[in-house]
Amino acid sequence: MPILVIPFPAIDPILVSFGPFAIRWYALAYVAGLLFGWWYVRRLVATDRLWPAGPRMDALGVDDLLVWITFGVVLGGRLGYVAFYNLDYYLSDPLEIVKVWDGGMSFHGGMTGAALAMILFARGRKLNFWSVFDAAAAAVPIGLLLGRLANFVNGELYGRPTDVSWAVVFPRGGDVPRHPSQIYEAGLEGLVLFVVLTLVVWRTPALKRPGLVTGLFGVGYALARIVVEFFREPDPQVGYLAFDVVTMGMVLSAAMGFVGLAMIALAVSGRTAGPSAGPGP
């Protein structure tokens, strides 16, 4: 048995309400992540020494990109969760799909939606979409940090049973001490990955090789998520996919890691350079 069990903090998931309308910590985390990311990307694009010669986003372009990414993250994140984690439930009651405020977002789906939005944005402005990816990838861990903390406040995506001294009893997890896996994810996927990418971006010429920072983010996130999956309780409607170990999060993250390695190889080879690298209009 654990030496110390931490009771779940009595934090109301609703920050403030106005009649039938409520502002939830979960939604606020997404908004704050997007706004902090927007501010950070504006700083990046304003620093000439970081970028290769040629056209790139300016501050006004970042403002427009925020709108594109917001729609991509919300739509992709929700549809990804519906498709990969609870398809039968949502097919039986399609109206539940729009209830984003109740939780249920897939990072991998949100990332895919954001990527498609950035490709469309870059093509419309004749920018190298690899460089657009890099600017966004450098800021994504900020949103991950805040989002995982919001998961903890919601008491969702908790960890597996454990006897460690920092175990937490979650309201939805039964009378069982569990790993606070949301905090692990906030630390690894958020804080640690942000620090690593920040050092790479500001102290090396990584952004001058379009796609390199994106690839590093993909590999870094995949490693962090796979590690945490050993402590996180699988979604009950999915469970383990194989050997009572492999989870959906591991599979999706492994695929993301391989894509990240491919991006790194392309960036190092120079095949992503140039203002119109990638598919033409």
Task: Judge whether 240 and 19 are in contact, CB under 8 Å.
Answer: no
User: Which distant-in-sequence residues (6+ apart) come within 8 Å of 212 by Cβ?
Assistant: 134, 206, 263, 264, 267, 268
Residue 263, beta-bridge partner list: none
Instruction: Report which secondary-structure segment, H or E, holds 16.
Output: strand 14-18
CA–CA dist 98, 67 (Å, integer): 19
> Up-side HSE of residue 25: CA atoms within 13 Å toward CB?
16
Task: Using the CB atoms, write b or e for 142-181: b if 16+ within 10 Å.
Answer: bbbbbbbbbbbbbbbbbbeebebeebbbbeebeeebbbbb
Instruction: Tell whether 148 is in a known binding site.
Output: yes
Over its C-alpha atoms, the chain yields an Rg (Å, rounded) of 20
30: phi then psi, degrees, rounded to nearest 5: -65, -45
Structure tokens at 63: 């403002």
Q: One-letter amino acid identity for 250?
A: M
CA torsion sign for 41, 45, 47, 50 is positive
- Going by C-alpha positions, the residue among 140, 136, 142, 143 that lies closest to residue 121 is 136
How far is the C-alpha of 258 from the C-alpha of 209, rounded, in Å?
19
Q: Which residues are annotated as a binding site?
A: 148
